[in-house]
């Protein structure tokens, strides 16, 4: 029964996807990854790593809009739980994301490409952090479209983290540095932690008007 309901949901969910935001993120990421080939220069490995990280960040920013649902206050009442709908959205985007990441990695010339497994871990962690952040925003506020707010927070946080986090954490290390492998253990931890937060924030809140209710929530139609 439930699977049939989910199957019926595929069409509407696909239509409701924020395709423009996702597409913009993917396009920005591809442009960044294509820069070394477009300009036919001899990029150094550090630059390639930086561009791939930029691409991952751009796509993660696109993903922060994934759970935006303008009709949120209406769909709260439908029998299919929000967790299912959110999971369905993610599942629909996942193959596209995998394809996109493959393309981005392949766009970087092979001789300067950073270790693919490790950089994929970073990109996956960034994506899951983005999803967890938007799920948290939806869980804790009544905003229907927190995407932009979350995107700004994610961008500011990542820039500040790159600037401020101690070097020995290795989150933004280069492959030759000794912090590369502990750094990727930290990335794995971030991935796991974000996944837990994401799962915890999946269900629709039972009580409304939470702690973090924003001003926009107060004027939104659902409170009436």
Partner 1 sequence: MSAVLEKAPPAERTEGERRSWAAVFALARFEARELLLRAPVLFMFVLYAAWIGWSMRDAWTTYPALQDVDRLTQNGPLLPALAVLLCANQAVLRSRRQDTDRHFDVLVLEPWRRTVAFALSVLPAVALTALFVAAQFTWGVLAPGSVGHGSVGELLVGPLTVLLAGSAGVLLARVVRSAFAAPMLLVLAFFSILFLGAVPGNSDGSATRWLVPVIGDASTKTLPSDLLGRPAAWHALYLAGLALTLALAAVLVNGGRTKTVAAALVVAVGLGTWGAVGQAGKVPAATVAARLVATVNPAKVQPCARHGHSTYCAFPEWMPRTGTWAKVTDNVQSLAGGTAAQEKLLVRQRVDARYGMDGDGAIEPSTVPYQVTVGTRWGGPRVPEFAAAVSSVLVTGSEKATSSLCDGRMVTIMWLALAWQSDPLAELRTVRLDDSVTGSAIVLSPTNPMSMTSEQTTVVRELFTAGKSAIAPKVKAHWAELTAPKVTTAKVAQLLGVKAPTGADKCE
Q: Which residues sit at the interface with partner 1, rule CB under 8 A?
A: 20-21, 24-25, 28, 31-32, 35-36, 39, 41, 43-44, 47, 50-51, 54, 57-58, 61-62, 65, 145, 147-149, 151-153, 155-156, 159-160, 163-164, 216, 219
In this complex, which beta carbon is closest to partner 1, that of residue 80 or of residue 214? 214
Minimum distance, C-beta of residue 153 to partner 1, in the bound complex (Å): 6
CB of residue 195 to partner 1, shortest distance in Å: 23
Distance CA 1, CA 58 (A): 38
Cβ proximity to partner 1: between 113 and 149 the closer is 149
Which uninterrupted H or E stretch holds 95? helix 82-107
Q: Which is nearer to partner 1, 5 or 152 (CB)?
A: 152
- CA dihedral sign, ordered 36, 41, 43, 47: negative
C-alpha to C-alpha distance for 10 and 217, rounded to whole angstroms: 29
Q: Please state, in angstroms and rounded to a whole number, the distance separating the CA atoms of residues 74 and 222.
A: 8
Nearer to partner 1, 96 or 199 (CB): 96
Of 80 and 174, which has the nearer Cβ to partner 1?
A: 174
Pick between residue 41 and residue 102 the one whose CB is nearest to partner 1: 41
Give the CA angle between residues 25, 27, 33 to the nearest 5°: 105
Q: Which of 7, 49, 76 is nearest to 177 (CA)?
A: 49
Q: What is the distance between the alpha carbons of residues 187 and 14, in angstroms, rounded to a whole number?
A: 31
Min. distance of Cβ 68 from partner 1 in angstroms?
Answer: 9
Closest CB 161 distance from partner 1, rounded Å: 11
- Rounded to a whole number of angstroms, the minimum distance from the CB of residue 216 to partner 1 is 6
Compute CA 98 distance to the chain's CA centroid, rounded to the nearest angstrom: 13
Residues in the chain: 224
> What's the min distance (Å) between Cβ of 215 and partner 1?
10
Three-state DSSP at 57 gives helix
């Amino acid at each position: 029964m439930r699977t049939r309901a989910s199957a019926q949901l595929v069409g509407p969910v696909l239509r409701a996807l924020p395709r423009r935001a996702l597409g913009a993120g993917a396009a920005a990421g591809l442009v960044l990854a294509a820069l070394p080939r477009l300009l036919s220069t001899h990029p150094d490995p550090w630059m390639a790593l930086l561009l791939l990280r930029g691409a991952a960040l751009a796509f993660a920013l696109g993903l922060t809009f994934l759970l935006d649902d303008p009709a949120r206050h209406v769909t709260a009442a439908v029998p299919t739980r929000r967790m299912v709908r959110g999971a369905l959205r993610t599942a629909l985007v996942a193959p596209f994301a995998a394809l996109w990441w493959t393309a981005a990695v392949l766009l970087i010339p092979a001789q300067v490409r950073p270790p693919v497994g490790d950089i994929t871990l970073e990109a996956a962690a960034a994506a899951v952090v983005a999803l967890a952040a938007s799920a948290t925003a939806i869980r804790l506020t009544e905003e229907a479209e927190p995407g932009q707010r979350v995107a700004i927070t994610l961008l500011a946080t990542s820039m500040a983290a790159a600037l401020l986090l101690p070097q020995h954490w290795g989150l933004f290390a280069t492959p030759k540095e000794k912090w590369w492998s502990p750094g990727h253990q930290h990335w794995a931890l971030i991935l796991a932690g974000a996944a837990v937060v994401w799962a915890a924030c999946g269900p629709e809140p039972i009580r409304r008007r939470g702690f973090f209710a924003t001003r926009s929530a107060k004027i939104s139609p659902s409170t009436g």
